């Protein structure tokens, strides 16, 4: 069974700061998902990655398969980035059955 | 392309009743997964359907069941509701296939309150 640890649990930043959220998992995987959840519940898939690095606008996700670790970075943070960020991995190597981290609640103050 | 839709968005039920939630995936997506989110347990996987077959199942009691129709629309049913079933129920669709390598697109969720 894959276990997922996220850190930090809560993060408060000033607008413009560089943000890093970390995710570690226990069992080798085929892909890792980063999700964003805004107040009200809607979830958006930010990244799905299996190696290296992906970039979308001010968001960057990296993964180190050997170390079983992934990071989500936000450059030039903005109050609209305030949300809960969740990482998720399959419970088996190629399964759609995901197990989730507890999430990181990010608050960006103007 | 329309996104994933879920109905109803909000629901209030009484203990002991049953409830059916509906999820319409993105056109062309064959996999539908269901998740339960509570403040205490976070997001938990319920089950996944692919081409009308349950392909994966989470650790939930048999009171939780689901099905998928030939048009990929899916329903989940919870019988004999308990207070602890109060949660946000999310469904997500993807192209599916094998390999767990498909991005999932989430619906807005159904917020179920059991009184």
- Model pLDDT for residues A48-60, shown as the tens digit of each residue: 998 999 999 999 9
Average pLDDT over residues B70-82: 97
pLDDT bucket at A90, cuts 50 / 70 / 90: confident
Least confidently predicted of A13-22, B8-17, B38-47, B82-91: B38-47
Q: Does B44 touch chain A (CB under 8 A)?
A: yes
Average pLDDT over residues B39-65: 92
Nearest Cβ partner of B101 from A31, A35, A88? A31
**What is chain A's mean pLDDT, rounded?**
91
Residues of chain A positioned with their CB less than 8 A from the CB of B94: 96
pLDDT bucket at A92, cuts 50 / 70 / 90: low
How many whole angstroms separate alpha carbon A88 and alpha carbon A102?
Answer: 9
Q: Does B48 touch chain A (CB under 8 A)?
A: yes
Q: Does A93 touch chain B (CB under 8 A)?
A: yes
| A contact test, residue of B100, B105, B107 with most A CBs within 10 A | B100
Inter-chain residue contact B100 with A43, CB threshold 8 Å: no
Q: Which residue on chain A is closest to B92 by alpha carbon? A: A43
Residue B61, pLDDT above cutoff 90: yes
Inter-chain residue contact A97 with B108, CB threshold 8 Å: no
Reference A25, options A17, A33, A36; nearest CA is: A33
How many whole angstroms separate alpha carbon B22 and alpha carbon B66?
Answer: 10
Average pLDDT over residues B75-84: 97
Q: Does A9 touch chain B (CB under 8 A)?
A: no
B41-54 burial, b for 16+ CB within 10 Å, e for fewer? ebbbbbbbbbeeee
Residues of chain A positioned with their CB less than 8 A from the CB of B45: 91, 97-99
- Percentage of chain A exceeding pLDDT 90: 74
Report CA-CA distances (Å) from A76 to A11, A46, A59, B11.
15, 17, 9, 39
Asked if residue B112 lies in contact with residue B14, where contact means CB atoms within 8 angstroms, the answer is no
How many whole angstroms separate alpha carbon B90 and alpha carbon A44?
Answer: 12
Q: Which residue on chain B is closest to A102 by alpha carbon? A: B42
Residue B99, pLDDT above cutoff 60: no
Q: Quick check: helix, strand or coil at residue A80?
A: helix
């Amino acid at each position: 069974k894959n276990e997922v640890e996220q850190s930090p649990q809560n993060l408060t930043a000033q607008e413009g700061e560089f943000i890093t959220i970390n995710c570690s998992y226990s069992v080798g995987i085929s892909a890792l998902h980063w999700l964003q959840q805004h107040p009200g519940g809607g979830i958006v898939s930010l990244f799905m990655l299996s190696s290296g690095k992906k970039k979308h606008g001010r968001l960057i996700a990296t993964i180190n398969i050997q170390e079983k670790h992934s990071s989500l970075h936000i450059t030039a943070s903005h109050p609209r980035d305030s949300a809960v960020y969740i990482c998720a991995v399959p419970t088996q190597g190629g399964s759609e059955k995901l197990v989730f981290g507890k999430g990181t609640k990010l608050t960006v103050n103007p | 392309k329309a996104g994933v839709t879920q109905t109803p968005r909000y629901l209030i039920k009484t203990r002991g009743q049953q409830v059916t939630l509906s999820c319409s995936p993105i056109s062309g997506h064959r996999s539908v997964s269901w998740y339960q989110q509570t403040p205490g347990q976070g997001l938990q996987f319920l089950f996944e359907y692919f081409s009308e077959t349950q392909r994966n199942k989470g650790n939930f009691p048999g009171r939780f069941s689901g099905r998928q129709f030939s048009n990929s629309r899916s329903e989940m049913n919870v019988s004999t509701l308990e207070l602890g079933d109060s949660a946000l129920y999310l469904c997500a669709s993807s192209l599916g296939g094998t390999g767990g390598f498909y991005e999932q697109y989430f619906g807005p969720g159904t917020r179920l309150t059991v009184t």
